Amino acid sequence: MCFDDDKTIMKKKIFIILSILGLFLVSLPFLPGFFMSNRGDRADVVYGAWYNAEKSWNSGKYLHASGETLQAFWMTIDFDARIVISKPFYWRSRALEKRGQLKEAIDSCMAGAKIIGQYDMEGEWWYHCFELQMQYHKALPDSNLASPTAKP
């Protein structure tokens, strides 16, 4: 009797998995519109991938559009994960900058910028790091500009 219960449970699990897969496949054409409307913090590269997927769906290239949608979905997940991971580095660099620890702030900023790198097309994250470097170089004593005092 226990053997029949195992078969029933297995059939239910297979049905649930296939239902979820079917729901995902049916929702594929609607994903580009959903992710493009909720742009928010998205990078232009990710937004462009969703735009291309939507264009393919609208032109009737369903097989090609499925691949583009999955790629855009992966890029969205990757971008969001990189943002979550890199933000603490950015916040830490701001805190270190306020304390005057510019060298440590630069290192933290660079670590965060490397994580988000491929999605930072406009150089937004790197720009902050370069500002910190300029502040650091301004704070260094400049031996080249120091001239010996001349006695009359």
Domain boundaries, the chain: 31-137
71-83 pLDDT, tens digit each: 888 888 888 888 8
Residue closest to 45 by CA, chosen among 112, 118, 126 = 118
- The pTM of the full predicted model, rounded to 2 decimals, is 0.60
Tokens 């916040």, residue located:
91
Angle at 19 between CA 64 and CA 11, to 5 degrees: 135
So what's the pLDDT on residue 145? 46
Euclidean distance between CA atoms 64 and 45, whole angstroms: 18
* CATH match of 31-137 with 1.10.1240: no
Question: Dihedral sign, CA of 109, 111, 112, 116?
Answer: positive
So what's the pLDDT on residue 28? 63
Name the more confident of 142 and 67: 67
Which pair of structure tokens corresponds to residue 6?
A: 């195992």
* Backbone angles phi and psi of 64, in degrees to 5: -65, -40
Q: In 1-140, which ranges are continuous DSSP H helix?
A: 2-27, 31-37, 44-59, 62-98, 102-116, 124-139
